[in-house]
Chain A
Amino acid sequence: MAHLEITQLTKRYGAFVALERIELAVERGEFLVLLGPSGCGKTTLLRAIAGLERQDEGRIVHAGRDISQLSPALRDYGIVFQSYALFPNLSVADNVAYGLNSRRADRRLVRKRVEEMLELVGLPGSQPKFPAQLSGGQQQRVALARALATSPDLLLLDEPLSALDAIERVRLRSEIRSLQNRLGVTTIMVTHDQEEALAMADRIVVMRGGRIQQIGGPQEIYRAPGNDFVADFIGRGNLLDATGAGPQHVRVGDLLLRCAGPTSEGHRQRFYVRPEDIRLHGTLDQGENSFYAHVLKCEFLGAYSLVTLQAPTGDGRPLVAQFSSNYLCGREIHPGATLRVGIPAEHLRPLPEAA
């Protein structure tokens, strides 16, 4: 049995269904990320696990104990919120010790534990400070130390990085991940930032409209999205409507492309292509699956350029390609130019029919 097992979890607010029959199993020591746009139910799911929202139906079993109807205080977890939720009138030490004091532990032990926790989150010696005297990132580290001080069995992170600036966010996210690796605490994090999810998660749960869309490792979610929504939400993608044209060939608009999987004559199928999988060919290079495309727009974004192309793919939707700067080797792309681009067969990924 999994460490945390959620079965048939449903939560409604009046007519609005926030969570619909959620089935989820989290393994011990796993870093699980709930990912989705706002209003997808990810936060509600986290709050249901924390006992802060009570589900209408379904069960939550944590470490073999049915906690479905237990109040938050009777569950075993630590939680970190986007807003830090640090007690402003208490010093950093008192904040971290907040859950320790009530257990009437020895003062000296408490002090030692606080020291240990602050060391762990990289803020040694900040005990006497007040939260208002710390930066956002430091405050979130204190919140993390406070949540972990009582050695909870489960760590819940509710958009912990969303309130931080970009640089701090990237730094703290790798710190959280390595901390989690070291402590081995089972962690569930909510985020709407796909990059964050890809960078941190062991497994990602993509959600929309109160339902789970797909569960899988970062690579799997990115490489083999289960449906349109996941393909669209994780990274950029180009959708292509195709018709089968003989074995291993499909017709996309005016183009005849070879694909890796089997097809059958006349069978309608959809594929998607990641922008970074589109290749740039020499103008006269007649490689497989290559074709001419018109440059509509080129955005230079430092490490790479995003190029919007008009190609004879049939439906008039522009094709977005991403060329890394070192791939282009200084070659400049101007709007109005014509390029020879190609889609390698193995990167033409079939997408299941829309639900």
Chain B
Amino acid sequence: MKVAGLSTLPPGRRATVSERLGGPLLLLAAVALAIFLLLPLGALLLGAVRDDAGAFSLARFAEFAATPGMATAVWNTLWVAVVVTAITVPLAFVYAYAIERACLPLRGLWRIVGLSALLGPSLVGAIAFIQWFGTQGVLKAWLGETSVYGPVGIVMATVYASFPHALMILVVALATADGRLYEAADALSASRWRKFVTVTLPGARYGLISAALVVFAYSVSEFGIPKVIGGNFPVLAVEIYVQVVGQHNFGRGAVVALLLLLPVLLAFAIDWWVQRRQQAGLSARAVPYRPRPDWRRDLPLLFYCLLLAMAMLGILGMAAYTSLVRFWPYNLELSLDHYIYGLAEAGVLDAWLNSLRIAGLTALFGTPFVFFTAWLLEKGQGGPTGLRPLVRALAALPMGVPGLVLGIGYILFFNAPDNPLNGLYQTLAIMVIANIVHYYTACHLTALTALKGIDREFEAVSASLKVSPFVTLWRVTLPVCLPAVLEIARYLFINAMTTVSALVFLYSPTTLPASVAILNLDEAGELGPAAAMATLIVLTSTAISLLYSFVTHLLFRRHQAWRQGQR
């Protein structure tokens, strides 16, 4: 900022210490994000354009293009993602429509079941589908001659795993409707279909685009599912794993990772661009839409929800059932053998403890870092020009970076012998950091939404009263935003508990997380213990979710006096 006449000013302080602290602190956050996000991605880029001697060359790309089967892998990845998107988005849209726009009994239950896939690693679906439709599957006949090991299984398991992601977006998109538009349509005696096409769909179109892009990106970057159920069907994500973990060919891995990064980054760039164009759809005067009971609409939708919920519970249940069955499919006696002998005695139960530790630390350190950075960004002042746009961009970027890509970036960057941070490699700390960075964007947006929701003059008022902004953060902003803070902590914990992608490259024998252990158990043919581990993760996530609901419920009751109308 141009400050004219500065030299004529009397000497002395121009700002209080705490006012001057905001800029440097935000700069610190930016540096942290740059080290743990930008630099690894940079290392990835460099790794891809350097030959073995370290000179600049595009040889790796040429090599990659010449490798037989790579073109097939690229093609497979793309068409599977398109098919998954085409199935998931309509499925989730109708489900979300049933929850938000119909008068169904037990709305909350349908919602929870719809999101249940989030509680476990993506592998849960893959394992369950093997049990349902695999070689010894219960419903093998349903698929006829087609084998589940391959594109069919990948599509089914990915649809299951990405469904809640689409559902969350679409529920939000459909939840905010202006009732006046429907009243106007009714007054003009528009038909049900016409109302749907002219009012409902346009209102949800940004949500639909967003959901489609998220599902597409999810499918492209998903690695565990094709690994477990994909058979010999080559896709890019598995290719990276094979190159890096199997053959220790980091350069080739970097090339494939870049290839994977491109469509995902593109998808999120499009989404970001589309969302920016979105005007605030709901003005302050809008009247929320309240659906009226109508059995001709509600009954089919109830039936639909019931069907989907049963399918989803069937998948989750099958994983749990597999973990309890002594020897599938020959001895269906129930026992805890897989837990006792498969996990505890085999020394794999440590993985679950590792995961608990990682998830706990991710939530413990990630939540304050995310919230404090968002607060500095939104409410703070100072710092060099361009710092704020930079932090905003850094916070938005992780959404477009698949975990696999981040993981390889971490290997290339932190494993370099001349990196002073080399000591972090293969520690618990780096896995925690990778998780925080990987899931940064969603948490950042949650924090930002909460911060934007409170009066923007709080800082001005406290400055006029000579109260430090940090005191106001502690006494006012944090208590008001507590629900969002808890939500961030829960989100980080559950994702850290269930994620495979980034961690698969970063663990050491002593820090093996549970979700990766499933992968290894499956690879060793130990489907029972794998299912047991998956079930343990689901149970842990469920417990944390219940704890979260309990705490927020308590919070709203305690703060009833002032949280009126905030829920």
Contact = CB atoms under 8 A, between A and B. Distances in A.
A98 interface: yes
Given A56-B4, A87-B475, A71 B467 contact: no
A103 B467 CA distance: 9
A87 B466 contact: no
A98 B5 contact: no
Interface string B443-458: 0000000000011011
Interface string A55-90: 011110000001011111111011101011101111
Contact of A98 (B6, B14, B465): B465
A328 interface: no
Contacts of A77: 464
Contacts of B562: 88-89, 130-132
A281 interface: no
A73 B463 contact: yes
* Range, interface on chain B: 35 or more
B275 to A, nearest CB: 24
Contacts of A132: 561-565
Contacts of A73: 15-16, 19, 463-464, 466, 468
B386 to A, nearest CB: 16
A54 interface: yes
Given A66-B10, A71-B15, A79-B461, A99 B467 contact: yes
A339 to B, nearest CB: 42
A317 B476 CA distance: 57
Chain B at the A interface: mostly helix, strand, loop or mixed?
loop
A79 B464 CA distance: 7
A150 interface: yes
Given A56-B4, A73-B15, A89 B463 contact: no
A78 B465 CA distance: 7
Given A69-B6, A71-B14, A85 B455 contact: yes
A28 to B, nearest CB: 19
Nearest to A54: B1
B336 interface: no
A320 interface: no
Contacts of B461: 79, 81, 85, 98, 146
A52 interface: yes
Interface residues of A, number: 41
B277 interface: no
A81 B565 contact: no
A99 B9 contact: no
Contacts of B565: 132
Given A56-B4, A87-B476, A72 B471 contact: no
B285 interface: no
Interface string B468-494: 100100011001100000000000000
A50 interface: yes
A152 B479 CA distance: 28
Nearest to A130: B562
Nearest to A94: B475
A133 B565 CA distance: 11
Given A68-B5, A70-B14, A73-B19, A85 B464 contact: no
Contacts of A326: none
B559 interface: yes
Contacts of A57: 4-5
Nearest to A52: B460
Nearest to A78: B464
A50 B459 CA distance: 12
Contacts of B559: 89
A110 interface: no
Interface in A157-177: none
A87 B16 contact: no
Residue of A52, A58, A87 with highest tally of chain B CB at under 10 A: A87
A338 to B, nearest CB: 44
Contact of A88 (B6, B14, B457, B480): B480
A90 B9 contact: no
B476 A81 contact: no
B462 interface: yes
B1 A102 contact: no
Contacts of A343: none
B2 interface: yes
Given A71-B19, A87-B476, A88-B562, A99 B466 contact: yes
13 contacts: A50-B460, A56-B2, A56-B3, A58-B4, A66-B9, A72-B463, A73-B15, A74-B14, A79-B461, A81-B455, A90-B475, A132-B564, A146-B461
Given A72-B463, A73-B15, 19 more contacts: A50-B460, A52-B460, A54-B3, A56-B2, A58-B4, A71-B15, A74-B13, A79-B460, A81-B457, A81-B460, A87-B476, A88-B566, A89-B480, A98-B461, A99-B464, A99-B466, A130-B561, A150-B466, A152-B464
Interface of B: 1-6, 9-10, 13-16, 19, 454-455, 457-458, 460-468, 471, 475-476, 479-480, 559, 561-566
Interface of A: 50-52, 54, 56-59, 66, 68-75, 77-79, 81, 83-85, 87-90, 98-99, 102-103, 130-133, 146-147, 150, 152, 156
